[in-house]
Amino acid sequence: MNRIQIDVITGERQVIELTAEEVAQAQAQYAAWLAAQPTKEEQIAKLQAQIDALKG
């Protein structure tokens, strides 16, 4: 995996290989993001509560 880097002053374009540390960091950040998201069950429960409220 790699990333593209552009210097906006010079226009120089570089293709830089990701280090193992960068990949590990990305995976750790993604795991943290996933953990912070509501589960499908929680989302369904919230929607159901809104439907129930609309029905009165």
Partner 1 sequence: MALELNGTTGVQGNSGAFVAGTAVASTSGTSIDFTSIPSWVKRITVMFDAVSLSGSSTIRIQLGTGSTTYTTSGYVTFGVTFSTGGLGGATDTGGFVIGQNHTAGGVTTYGGSCVITNVTGNNWSYMAVMGGSSTTNGGQLGGGSVPLGAALTAVRVTTVNGTDTFDAGTINILYE
Confirm or reject binding of residue 50 to partner 1 (CB under 8 A): no
Residues 9 and 53: their CA atoms lie apart, in Å, by 56
Residues contacting 30, CB < 8 A, separation 6+:
none
Computed on alpha carbons and rounded to an integer, the radius of gyration of the chain in Å comes to 21
Task: Please tell me whether residue 11 binds partner 1 under the rule CB under 8 A.
Answer: yes
Interface residue with partner 1 among 15, 20, 53, 54 (CB under 8 A) is: 15
Smallest distance from the beta carbon of 33 to partner 1, in angstroms? 6
**Interacting residues toward partner 1 by CB under 8 A:** 1-11, 13, 15, 18, 23, 25-27, 29-30, 32-33, 36-37
